[in-house]
Chains A and B, each alone.
Chain A
Amino acid sequence: MKTQSNSNILTKYLFRGVFIGVLIWILIYLVNLDSAAFRDTNHTIADMFYVFPAMWVVTLLPVILGIIGYGYAYMFVKRIERQKKYINRETKRSETTLKFIDDLRKGSYDMSDEYFDKKDDLTVSLFKLRDYLLQSKKEQELQHIEEEQRNWVTQGLAQFGENLRVNTDNLELFSYNIIRYLVNYLKINQGGVYLANEQNGEKYFELTACVAFDRKKYADKKINWNEGLIGRAAIEKQYIYITDIPNDYVTITSGLGQANPKALLIVPLLANEQVHGVIELASFSEFQQFEIDFVERTAESLASTISSVKINMKTAELLKDSQMQRERMLQQEEELRQNLEEMRATQEDSDRREIEMKGILEAIDNSSISCEFATDGTLLSVNQMFLKTFKYMDDEIEDQNIAIFFFQDDVENLNKILDNLQNGINYKGRTRRRTKLGEEIYLLSNYTPVMDSRGNIIKILSLEMDITEQVKMEEQMKKSKEELGLLLEQTRNEVKDSFKEMEYVKIRNEKTLEGALDAIITINELGVINFFNLAAEKLWGYERKEVLGQQIEMLFALETIKNNDFVKGLVTDKEKIIVGERREVPIKNKFGEEIPVLFLISDAKVGDQHSYTAFIQNVEVELF
């Protein structure tokens, strides 16, 4: 088509040249024909060429113009072709450019330099654009990451702040919450809080809370102020970050085993340039810088919170102390008052006793010879009775030894007593004493050592009573007693002889009575049987030992005692005993049989005592 149109243009312009040449020839021919000169001559056409030689040129004009037209058209066509080619090329380039831009839009930046056939300004600037876009994208991404980290930190700090506000009264729980939160938020494995503490002027760190520490190993772990990494972090006031951890430094233990952490971060808790403690964090993965920064920032606010908590605690403690102090003061005041009261009451009680004591002492002073002397016998004090007894004047006995109140031959005895007293043994007994005038007197003495609170003997208290008269009387009595004794012996022998005689008479009488045919019974005033002879045994059938000491009533029937006056008199105390009259009365023998007998009672009076003797004869005559 292109070629067709090109040849068309060529043909068109060829013909247009030929046509214009023909047109011009005709025109010139006609103009020539019409010219007066020519018309006047009547010349033929041939003549015209003669007249106007230029007619030849004009006749040739269509050819010339055709050639010119063709040639011109040819030039034009050539140019068009060239233009076309150019346009094509441009179109292709813009397509590539569009694709490039599309690619950029789609986000692929990895085009090579051969993307375009030819390098020109556009492509260079396109590539520049690409590079710029690439860079800005990278920057954007970086910014995004930073933004995220910032968010993470901000969120972390906010939550951390939340944690800081609760449980601030219990440092242990508080630090546990903090470290647990840190470990969780950082997604690490192990952490511990060491708080600075001071005891007896010695500073140290104490592991107050930990997460995932080996409990047994780390409970109550104390670290000196400048010991180890913890100490170093505290001294340098700078965090320590270690990725190359010594094998035995710390291990993370779980149920499945234990391993060394990969990274260790030790951050001092700094507030106002003062170290309040140290946080130690261990992780299997390395810490990022922003994480370290985050920990540092949390450490800072933790430190200031701890510092304020400590201050609060101290204030609370002080407040409590002062309240306690107040309470204590009140209590003490009351106690003091009560103690005072007790002391007063005690004092009064002892005052009362003292008065009583005074009375007792006065009584002793008035009634006994009393003196006090040292353990070696030196007199310390004496009372008036003492002076009166020994007939000394008070100034005469000053600083004297008590030995002067003893006779020479008793001094040895006195020394023995003094020795005993020195050993705390008191003395009680009779002492022979010497008055100033050399008279012999006897005293009942009581020497008592007086001790002080530590048991040392300070003096000896002597209380004595004059028993001289008593002693003299005793001596007198002793003498009389001896005389009496002789007399008594004599009398005793006489009495013994008469007793023997009496006994003899008694036996003789009893033998006589025993041998009598009549039954004979003796009773005393109370009706007790004293004597029961052989005949009586036969009559009653009782043996003597069954009857002696028994009441007489056992020998009569009850009926007889009631009805018979004689028996009644004999048996009962109230009735009088009929004496000197012979009566017939029934008696009851051992077997309960009643036997009539003749009874005669005689009364024998010895002093105030009556003794009755009954003579009994059997009335029944045995037939033989």
Chain B
Amino acid sequence: MNEIDVKYFISELKKRSLYDFSDYSYKSINRRIVGVVEDYKLSVNQILKQVSLDRTFAEKLVSDITVNTTSFFRDSNVWVNLANSVYPSLFYNDKINIWHAGCSSGKEVYSNLILLSELGLIDKVDIVATDISKEMLSVAKKATYQNFYLDNIQKQYNHVMDNTDIKNYNDISKYIDEENNYVTIKKELRDKVKFYYHDLVSDNETPFFQKFDIIFCRNVLIYFNPELQNKIVGGFLKKLYGKGFLLIGASEQINGAFKTRFVNKCGVYCKNKQSHFFYK
């Protein structure tokens, strides 16, 4: 597939399925689409035809094109930081609204819920999670994962908890059921999350109206071009309360027009109430 094909593919896909990849980082989306088309062993036109005929095929295609890498308590520093400084600042809130934008298979959402439960904030939180792939959303709702050594929840959880200020934390088994190499998140946690389909790229309104104290959008922006990154960060800014937090990936940064609207505190961006540059 050459460049024209990929562009053609993206525009056709947008027409046929309302999935818009045109503002995705070109190199990345190019690699993904080329890879997926090769895997499917079908011609571009065959795939596009199938997309207009079969909705589930379209869902599958989208979940294959998008990158869904996630793991429990990924980047332990972020979680330690959340536990030690971000959540304590929200401790006296009556309600903590959290949005996981691009939740993928939900491991991050459940990691967060486990942490909140350990902090005793679980009853205050209102969590919504959105993703572009309906297939991934259904995985997230089911919350059953293969427990491979790559993904050793127990180890990662203990590692995070050992570094937080939380003393005498519960064993992870309080939150998950383990069976035949599969782990399932317990129902109490699953019921806490509202999953919605939402495409960050589209101009469609979010399927909820509240504002948030924390927005998670980790390792999502890297797939978009700078203009789109900017637009999405602007969208988050509108959805955040003053002093709200935006969590982005370890290797991501907020650049461009909205850079000055946030204060970077150890990788967690805090919304700046004033619009001028913040000097420490």
Name A residues whose Cβ lies closer than 8 Å to a Cβ of B.
324, 327-328, 331-332, 335, 337-339, 341-342, 344-346, 348-350, 352-353, 356
Kindly list 6 other residue pairs between chains A and B, CB separation below 8 angstroms, not including A341-B28, A344-B31, A345-B25.
Answer: A328-B148, A331-B148, A335-B150, A342-B219, A350-B251, A356-B255
Contact B67 A342 (CB under 8 A): yes
Contact A331 B146 (CB under 8 A): yes
Name B residues whose Cβ lies closer than 8 Å to a Cβ of A.
25, 27-28, 31-32, 35, 67-69, 146, 148, 150, 181, 219, 221-223, 226, 249, 251-253, 255
User: With A and B bound together, what is the CA distance between A341 and B219 in angstroms?
Assistant: 11
Nearest CB on B from A158, distance (A) = 38
Tell whether A344 pairs with B255 under 8 Å between CB atoms, given A332-B148, A332-B150, A338-B68.
no
Q: Which residues of B contact A338 (CB under 8 A)?
A: 67-69
User: With A and B bound together, what is the CA distance between A342 and B150 in angstroms?
Assistant: 16
Contact A342 B69 (CB under 8 A): yes
Contact A346 B255 (CB under 8 A): no
A-B contacts at CB below 8 angstroms, number:
51
- State which of A324, A332, A345, A352 has its C-beta within 8 Å of the C-beta of B223: A345
Tell whether A353 pairs with B222 under 8 Å between CB atoms, given A341-B31, A342-B67, A348-B27.
no
User: With A and B bound together, what is the CA distance between A134 and B275 in angstroms?
Assistant: 123
User: With A and B bound together, what is the CA distance between A337 and B251 in angstroms?
Assistant: 19
Q: List 10 A-B contacts (CB under 8 A).
A: A337-B35, A338-B67, A338-B68, A341-B31, A341-B69, A345-B25, A345-B222, A345-B223, A349-B222, A349-B251
- With CB as the reference atom, state the residue of chain A lying closest to B279: A428
Contact B146 A341 (CB under 8 A): no
User: With A and B bound together, what is the CA distance between A327 and B181 in angstroms?
Assistant: 11
Q: Which residues of A contact B150 (CB under 8 A)?
A: 332, 335
User: With A and B bound together, what is the CA distance between A353 and B256 in angstroms?
Assistant: 11
Tell whether A344 pairs with B28 under 8 Å between CB atoms, given A324-B181, A338-B67, A352-B226.
yes
Q: Which residues of A contact B221 (CB under 8 A)?
A: 349
Q: Which residues of A contact B251 (CB under 8 A)?
A: 346, 349-350
Nearest CB on A from B133, distance (A) = 13
Contact B32 A341 (CB under 8 A): yes
User: With A and B bound together, what is the CA distance between A327 and B253 in angstroms?
Assistant: 36
Q: Which of A331, A349, A356 has the most CB of B within 10 A?
A: A349
User: With A and B bound together, what is the CA distance between A125 and B32 in angstroms?
Assistant: 112
User: With A and B bound together, what is the CA distance between A558 and B187 in angstroms?
Assistant: 81
Tell whether A339 pairs with B146 under 8 Å between CB atoms, given A349-B222, A349-B251.
no
User: With A and B bound together, what is the CA distance between A327 and B147 in angstroms?
Assistant: 12
- With CB as the reference atom, state the residue of chain A lying closest to B226: A352
User: With A and B bound together, what is the CA distance between A344 and B68 in angstroms?
Assistant: 14
Contact B67 A345 (CB under 8 A): yes
User: With A and B bound together, what is the CA distance between A342 and B68 in angstroms?
Assistant: 9
Contact B69 A349 (CB under 8 A): no
Q: Which residues of B contact A345 (CB under 8 A)?
A: 25, 28, 67, 222-223
- With CB as the reference atom, state the residue of chain B lying closest to A346: B251
Contact B148 A342 (CB under 8 A): no
- With CB as the reference atom, state the residue of chain B lying closest to A349: B222
Q: Which of B31, B222, B253 has the most CB of A within 10 A?
A: B222
Nearest CB on A from B67, distance (A) = 5
Q: Which residues of A contact B148 (CB under 8 A)?
A: 328, 331-332
Q: Which residues of B contact A342 (CB under 8 A)?
A: 67, 69, 219, 222
Q: Which residues of B contact A335 (CB under 8 A)?
A: 69, 150
Tell whether A346 pairs with B222 under 8 Å between CB atoms, given A332-B148, A338-B69.
yes
- State which of A339, A348, A353 has its C-beta within 8 Å of the C-beta of B28: A348
Tell whether A349 pairs with B252 under 8 Å between CB atoms, given A328-B148, A335-B150, A344-B31.
yes
Q: Which residues of B contact A341 (CB under 8 A)?
A: 28, 31-32, 67, 69
Contact A348 B146 (CB under 8 A): no
Contact A349 B25 (CB under 8 A): yes
- With CB as the reference atom, state the residue of chain B lying closest to A428: B279
Q: Which residues of A contact B35 (CB under 8 A)?
A: 337
User: With A and B bound together, what is the CA distance between A349 and B31 in angstroms?
Assistant: 15
Q: Which residues of A contact B249 (CB under 8 A)?
A: 346
